[in-house]
Amino acid sequence: MIVVKHNYISARDRQSRVGGKPSKVAAVGRALAHLKYIQHRPGEDRGDGGREIFGEHDDELSAKRLRKAVREMRDSKVVIHKLTLAPEINPEDKKAFTREVMQKLGSEKGLDLQWMAVEHNNTAHHHIHVVILGKDKNGTDVRIDKKDYDKIKDYGDRYLERVHPLELERARAERERKEKDRIEQRKREKDAARQERIREGLELPWMHKKILREQLEPYSEWKKKQAEKERAKNSPEKAKENEPEKPYFQDTIQAAGKEWSRQNTLAELKELNQYLWDNYEERIDKEQYKKLVAWMRTKERLGERDAEPKGGEEKAADKNKEQDKPKDVFEYKGEKYSKSSSYEKLSALNERLRDKDADRLPIDHYQQLRGWIENADRARWAGVSDRLIENAKTKHWQERAQAGMPDNFRVVNPLQQQVMSNPVVGLFMQGASIANELVRWIPLTDQRDRLKEGRDALEAAKLDKVQEHNRPGRDEEHKAKDRETIEKLDKAIDSNQATRDEANDKKKRKKWERDKEEPWDKYDPWGRY
């Protein structure tokens, strides 16, 4: 895997239009400064005369001649392109690696590129700085966009696979191992956070969130709402509202710590979409996600339209219209999937699609698949609370029978026995007794002393901070911050104690008022007047 970073210097960009100098002069000055930086940046790999600059055929180019070539780009749209290549492994011959990548890039674009490069080995991540002039040898403007990044990565990977196959394979295995360890670490952190919530009483370990969802909104009611939404979505008024917005400048979203726009490739947007679904805590809001989906749909349609042969505009338009129509079934690897498929089948497909080597689905099919999984999941959890209660009843009666209780909760009063002989009444009374037993298990009051828990937490934090303050070798600046934190914790502990005292006084006052209204000698020792 190769990391590619690209930027350019032009008289039209913002940085060249500030500072009081003419924009062309400022752009050339910035380009020369970059050339000087990559050659003379401090580091152990820099020689007395700076690092050597190599090109397409020469191993050591003249810096004076290069500066002259940069100045000749003064009237071009772009003075230079700044390109950084950071391969995953360190090639034995970086010059051969760079020359092959640049030669294939120029051939792909039909340009005879003028470029120079410098190796940087002064950091933990070895890399190569490439400077491409704004015009090729034939005077044609050079343009490098995001589509070229994937080509550059592919050219570099091919070189490494051919020249360093074993090193590349080990590097990929190491990268996969680190990614696996990162995922496992995140899972452990999530499990630890859940256990902490359970200890604090904020979450019940035995109550599944899907059971709670079924209790808050039963499946039957949820299904009616979904049908109403579907009817409203297909109405003519809603169709006008769902028309895509016109594109405008700098339409971006923030996700996964980066900025994304419709300028990103379809592969990059799909990777972002999969990442957001795999990492629930990093998901974006609904409006931004709709925008991401719209970009992917547009790119997929344009890609298929471009694939049509010339003269097939009408066929492409008909194909796009057919794609716009919602379908209740799609095919993957010769097998059909629909909304009536089982949850296990849909989930298995979803797991297969997570594999990086699996064939990808169009975004519309991804949306359908996830919607179908959600519906099937709701359906399989429907009525789960009733089933759990029935299982609890059965288990309870079995335990009573195994304990040797002959009546097994049946009364022996003759009148009641005659009433209970009616099977309907007997079943009703048995269910009522079980429900009463289950309700008795649920505590109706919070028995926790939260003020005491808060005080214990504050004292523990204070103790940790005091130990940190007294640690040998700690500088005065950190000790001053520790003393400030300890002082704040003391104030919080005093405030907590004042609140506890006030709460205790209030309890005593209420008890005194209650005893005043109902004196202790109002009843005799047997609880009678």
**Separation of CA 226 from chain center:** 27
CA nearest 88: which of 190, 17, 174? 174
pLDDT of residue 307: 39
- Which residue type, as a one-letter code, is found at position 437? E
Helices 165-199 & 146-163 angle (0-180, nearest 10):
120
Structure token digits, residue 480: 């001053």
Helices (H), 219-362: 219-233, 236-241, 266-278, 286-307, 313-324, 343-353
In this prediction, residue 520 carries a pLDDT of 46
Which pLDDT score, from 0 to 100, does residue 306 have?
41
- d(C-alpha 129, C-alpha 43), whole Å: 15
Show the DSSP H helices in 164-204 as ranges. 165-199
- pLDDT of 352-402, one tens digit each? 887 777 777 888 888 888 888 888 888 887 877 677 777 777 777 777 666
In this prediction, the residues of the chain whose per-residue pLDDT falls under 70 are 1, 19, 122, 124, 201-209, 211-212, 215, 236-250, 280-281, 303-327, 385, 400-431, 435, 437-448, 514-529
CATH 3.30.930.30 applies to domain 2-163: yes
User: 3-state DSSP call for residue 527?
Assistant: coil
Find where tokens 């005593």 sit: 508
If phi over 0 gives left and psi between -120 and 50 gives alpha, with beta otherwise, what is residue 527? left
**215 vs 204, 210, 371, 487, CA distance in Å?**
15, 9, 21, 47
pLDDT tens readout for residues 186-233? 889 988 988 888 777 666 666 666 766 776 778 888 888 888 887 887
Q: Which of 138, 129, 30 is nearest to 86 (CA)?
A: 129
Whole-model pTM above 0.85? Answer: no
Which amino acid belongs to residue 229? K
Torsion-angle region of residue 473: left (phi > 0), alpha (psi -120 to 50) or beta? left
Question: What is the reported pLDDT for 81?
Answer: 92
**Residue owning tokens 């500066």:** 67
Helix, strand or coil, per DSSP, at residue 72 = coil
Cβ-contact 97, 26 below 8 angstroms: no
Tracing tokens 């300890």 back to the chain, one arrives at 486
Write out the two tokens for 335: 């097998």
3 state DSSP class of 261: strand
pLDDT of 231: 81
